[in-house]
Amino acid sequence: MTWADRTKAIELIKQHGIDGLGGLDGCTCMCFRVQGIDVHISCWKSDRHIWVKADDEDTEESLKPVADALMESLSKVVGYDARAEGFIVRYGHEKR
C-alpha cells in the first residue's frame, strides 16, 4: 500500500462513509475493500471491532490514519463515539 493509496482510501471513507462503502442494512457489521485495504466491522452485539488489513503492509503505524477515518465514520453512523463505547481497532497482523 502506497502513501497515495492510503490517502485515497481516507478520502473515500470521508466522502462516502462506511455505510456508502460497505452497505448498511440496519446492522453495522460489514466487510468491504477500499484501495487495497480490507475492512471488517463487527457491531456492538459481537466483539465491537474494526479490523483493518492491507495486502502488503500490516503495521499499525501505516494503517492507523485509515483506522481513525473508519472510527470517525462509524461514530457518525451509530450516533455516538464508537471508541468511547468500546469499539477497538485490530490490524491485519493481529489474530482476529
pLDDT tens readout for residues 49-78: 999 998 766 678 889 999 999 999 999 988
Question: For residue 23, is it within any domain?
Answer: yes
**At residue 96, does pLDDT exceed 60?**
no
46 confidence band (pLDDT: 50, 70, 90): confident
Question: For residue 73, is it within any domain?
Answer: yes
Question: For residue 96, is it within any domain?
Answer: no
How many domains in the chain?
1
Question: For residue 77, is it within any domain?
Answer: yes
Q: What pairs with residue 28 in β-bridges? A: none
The residue range of the domain holding 42 is 3-91
Q: At what angle do helices 3-22 and 60-78 cross, to 10 degrees?
A: 30
Question: For residue 72, is it within any domain?
Answer: yes
Question: For residue 86, is it within any domain?
Answer: yes
